[in-house]
Amino acid sequence: MSDRKPSPISPIPRAIPREPIRPAFLGGLFYKDSVCAWIFIAPALIGFTVFYLVPCIRAVHISLTDWNLLRLPKFVGFQNYIRLWADQRFWNAMRVTVLYVLYNIPIQTVIGLLLASLLDRIGRSVLLRSIILTPYLIANVIAAILWFWMLDPLLGFINALLHSVGFQSIPFFSDQRLALPTIAAVNIWRHMGFVALLFYTGMQGIPRSLYEAARIEGAGPWQSFWNITLPLLRPTLVFVLVTSIIGSFQIFDSIAVTTLGGPVDSTRSIVWYIYESSFENYKMGYASAMSCVLFLCLTVVTIAQMRILRSGQSELG
């Protein structure tokens, strides 16, 4: 996944809590207050405008032009979007990306839940938590290179193990069918501990008395997981799913260091294809059009998820 940029940490926009305004606190000097506020907010607002707001609008604008960075951009209307609709490679990139998300998210979520429940029930040591968090603290590039080495067909550790128990070595990254699942596995490795920690934190907030009551009623650990933990964990679950799916859709770093989109387009994800179109073939307009479509898709996916999972509502109220 992450290649998930602001990844882990990107909070989902939620309703902003309205805090009461205390007239006494305002004093009579509304004007002075507001000057002070603008001074405080100015640097961040400039940064936001220059590097987020304007680029966002500019991306839409570039997507309506034909531009190779050298000539002046030529306005072409929706032509890039029309071309994109007929572009086989675009659809392939979308297919690869969705497939990647489907490999990545369910396994990562299940492993995260499993680890979190175990940490919650039997192993609350900081040492253990820092061990499983370690892969997440490593750069994507390093994680990818690490596994590229582990899985090297000639000298890699995993293939040496496979050999010693009598198997053939497997060309994980250079096999057309295996490359994408392999990249997904590397990213599951990197993210599982972090996801587990987020779930674990969520589980810490569930009142112990509920488990106690369930146990007295005769529920086993499995039943209490399904009937207590999972429903009460929903806000965390929504947060993790939404952010990790957004991140997963943007898989790039691990592809850039290992397969470069190959073999035979099998790992040409959408962000990798946009990168190739813009920074290698200088089709800025076309690439921007694809990035805007990606943005739109992610927005739809996110809204759909929030609806389906009814975020924010915990059974605890």
Partner 1 sequence: MKSNSARLPLARWCGYAILALFAIISLGPILIAVKTAVSDSKTLFSSASSFLPQDPTLFNLQRVLGWANPADPRMERMSYGKIDFFRALINSVIFTLLAVVPQIAFSAMAAYAFARLQFLGRRLIFFLFLSATMIPGIVLFIPNFVLIKDLGWLNTYQGMAAPYALMTPFAVFFLRQMFLSTPRELEECARIDGASYISIFFRIVLPFHRSALATLTIIASLSAWNEFFWPFLVGRSESVRVMAVAINAFRQQQAGGTPDWSGLMACTVLGMLPIFVLLLLFGRKVVESFQSAGPK
Q: Which DSSP symbol is given to 18?
A: -
Which member of 80, 200, 255, 268 binds partner 1 (CB under 8 A)? 200
| Region of 53-61, 78-86, 91-99, 176-184 interacting with partner 1 (CB under 8 A) | 53-61
Triad 187, 192, 195: Cα angle to 5°: 120
- The number of angstroms, rounded, from the C-alpha of 124 to the middle of its chain's C-alpha atoms is 27
Q: Which region, left, alpha or beta, applies to residue 30 given φ > 0 means left and ψ of -120 to 50 means alpha?
A: alpha
User: Does residue number 223 form part of the binding site for partner 1 (CB under 8 A)?
Assistant: no
Q: Cβ closer to partner 1: 40 or 226? A: 40
Helices 88-121, 179-204: inter-axial angle, 10-degree rounding = 40
User: Does residue number 138 form part of the binding site for partner 1 (CB under 8 A)?
Assistant: yes
Which member of 235, 251, 266, 267 binds partner 1 (CB under 8 A)? 235
The label of the residue with tokens 């994680």 reads 143
Q: What are phi and psi of 75, to 5 degrees?
A: -70, 125
User: Does residue number 141 form part of the binding site for partner 1 (CB under 8 A)?
Assistant: yes
User: Does residue number 19 form part of the binding site for partner 1 (CB under 8 A)?
Assistant: yes
Binding-site residue total for partner 1 (CB under 8 A)? Answer: 124
The label of the residue with tokens 């488990």 reads 211
User: Does residue number 78 form part of the binding site for partner 1 (CB under 8 A)?
Assistant: no
Which member of 146, 178, 230, 306 binds partner 1 (CB under 8 A)? 146
User: Does residue number 29 form part of the binding site for partner 1 (CB under 8 A)?
Assistant: no
Which member of 90, 100, 103, 136 binds partner 1 (CB under 8 A)? 136
Which member of 82, 110, 118, 308 binds partner 1 (CB under 8 A)? 118
User: Does residue number 301 form part of the binding site for partner 1 (CB under 8 A)?
Assistant: no
Which member of 100, 173, 194, 225 binds partner 1 (CB under 8 A)? 194
Q: How far is the CB of 265 from partner 1 (least distance, A)?
A: 18
Identify the sign of the CA torsion 22, 25, 30, 31. Answer: negative
CA distance 159 to 167: 8
User: Does residue number 255 form part of the binding site for partner 1 (CB under 8 A)?
Assistant: no
User: Does residue number 22 form part of the binding site for partner 1 (CB under 8 A)?
Assistant: yes
User: Does residue number 102 form part of the binding site for partner 1 (CB under 8 A)?
Assistant: no
Q: Which DSSP symbol is given to 69?
A: S
Which member of 51, 85, 91, 167 binds partner 1 (CB under 8 A)? 51
Cis amide prior to 43 (ω within 30 degrees): no
User: Does residue number 86 form part of the binding site for partner 1 (CB under 8 A)?
Assistant: no
Report CA dihedral (285, 286, 291, 294) to the nearest 10 degrees.
150
User: Does residue number 131 form part of the binding site for partner 1 (CB under 8 A)?
Assistant: yes
CA distance 272 to 250: 9
User: Does residue number 261 form part of the binding site for partner 1 (CB under 8 A)?
Assistant: no
User: Does residue number 96 form part of the binding site for partner 1 (CB under 8 A)?
Assistant: no
CA distance 283 to 306: 35
CA distance 115 to 183: 21
User: Does residue number 93 form part of the binding site for partner 1 (CB under 8 A)?
Assistant: no
